[in-house]
Chain A
């Protein structure tokens, strides 16, 4: 049977930079700033994914380095952290059963990366690890650290693979573009099933492969619309919601009999 078809909805997400003009005095250290024009984004029920644009600027860039394209920027939009259980199916008497599982704490629900160049061209794998930057370098904290390292490694890999397959972890190489020497624009992908909650946008500045500075901003993603109200009522007033569901069913049954009755 056909899978659920996400409905496209035009959505405008424009996040403007808070302009940060800096005095061009040569000895000052380089910095990076990103700004969001709004601190919350509402997505409707038919949301089928979108690109989120974040503007930012470099402070005190060295014109020579900039001309040689030796500044690199990586922008990350990280979803709220949640506990996650990864389960593996195995065959038991021919039937596929969820057998082994591993629980992780504080796993970012989503993780979208935009970069100026492929990650391996920007800096060393070690510095990514130190910064815990990039979906493959994110540290997944197991709930039970006593489990064997091989098991933890296997389930961590499966967790990343599943998140990438569902579009929640994504990488947009070339998604950061310099518009001028100072100004850059980053495009990160929001998956159709982007989690609601507080997202953290972070920008990392590299100069000739060396990490210089980081800046961050927060963004609230909310769902809006009729469907979202139903969801909220179902969770906040679950008993009344149940009563409503039953009454609706009885009313439909009664009306159905009134309209179509034959006796």
Chain B
């Protein structure tokens, strides 16, 4: 069944989009990530203009993180104060990102920038995750006990000034790295359409030493607001949010997420991470190939001064 997307201005197959949303929802339920980093590249492969894929991806992320954050709020595994500080940084980063986005679009370099960011981002995160999970898998196979970091261990981040206490996370840490983390993820969110959960979660665990049980809820909480802010600014400055497209993806996504969560419970953590790493790397490689292969048309047209 064909459907015309009003903002993207192309006709697409509604079932392909539903399947895409469901598949990403399944994976996001399974791995506990928002899925924005998969949706946007998939939309680009499906010929949706990158600018619209990014803004609509951000809109879609709100739905999945909102429903996730609700469950965590009920379980009490959400640190509102930590989330709030992350969010303050996120708004600043996101605003900066929107300006860069509009500027690159004017220069005609936006598509390239989005692809490059994804290749670098997904390539790095995928490689690190793969190395980490494979070494854990090997260690457990050989019977050795996994090496855990001692909770008392401090790194340079804990020596920074302006400390603040976060009770729910049992944390006493400087606000500088928290704001900085929020800002960089906000920036990424507005330029690439990702929610940033797949960076936020490891950063909170390894850099700030936030207890694992509050990490996902807190990260989801802040992603709702960063993505909502990104969506709002993209909608009002670039007019690139396609509600129709976002809604179809969300509908597929919320259903898929539930089955994914069930499937995820049967797999072990390091197995999940290895699979997710392979998936992330596959997307990065696919995007990288497009950058190097000679395009069918060297010339492209765009409206000047418009948009």
Contacts and interface: CB of A to CB of B under 8 A. Distances in A.
Given A4-B10, A263-B71, A98 B231 contact: no
Contact of A250 (B63, B71, B306): B63
Interface in B253-305: 253-255, 257-258, 261-262, 291-295, 297-305
A83 interface: yes
Interface string B90-129: 0000000000000000001100100010000000000000
Contact of A83 (B232, B239, B258, B303): B303
A98 B112 contact: yes
A84 B301 contact: yes
Given A96-B291, A96-B292, A103 B11 contact: no
Interface stretch (A125-133, A201-209, A240-248): A240-248
B219 interface: no
B235 A242 contact: yes
Interface string A159-171: 1011101000000
A242 B236 contact: yes
Contact of B243 (A2, A95, A244): A244
B4 interface: yes
A1 B235 contact: no
Nearest to B302: A85
Contacts of A21: none
Nearest to B29: A260
Question: Chain B contact residues: over half helix, strand or loop, or mixed?
Answer: helix
Contacts of A243: 232
A155 B304 CA distance: 15
B59 interface: yes
A158 interface: yes
B291 A241 contact: no
B245 to A, nearest CB: 10
Contacts of B302: 84-85, 87
A89 B300 contact: yes
B70 A46 contact: no
A257 B301 contact: no
A234 interface: yes
A23 interface: no
A67 interface: no
Given A84-B301, A89-B298, A253-B64, A245 B109 contact: no
Nearest to B45: A1
B70 A254 contact: yes
Among A2, A86, A260, which residue has the most Cβ atoms of chain B within 10 A? Answer: A260
Nearest to B61: A249
A159 B7 CA distance: 24
Contact of B300 (A2, A82, A98): A98
Contacts of A45: 4, 6
Interface in A211-263: 227-228, 230-231, 234-235, 238-239, 241-246, 248-250, 252-257, 259-263
A96 B4 contact: no
A238 B236 contact: yes
B13 interface: yes
A253 B67 contact: yes
Nearest to A92: B112
Interface string A104-130: 000000000000000000000000000
B7 A85 contact: no
Nearest to A260: B258
Given A1-B45, A4-B47, A262-B261, A245 B298 contact: no
B255 A242 contact: no
Contacts of A263: 71, 74-75
A104 to B, nearest CB: 8
Contacts of A159: 299, 301
B251 interface: yes
A256 B260 CA distance: 14
Nearest to B115: A95
Contacts of B6: 45, 227-228, 230-231, 234
Interface of A: 1-7, 45-46, 82-90, 94-98, 101, 103, 143, 155, 158-159, 161-163, 165, 193, 227-228, 230-231, 234-235, 238-239, 241-246, 248-250, 252-257, 259-263
9 contacts: A4-B12, A45-B4, A86-B301, A98-B109, A162-B299, A165-B297, A246-B228, A250-B66, A263-B75
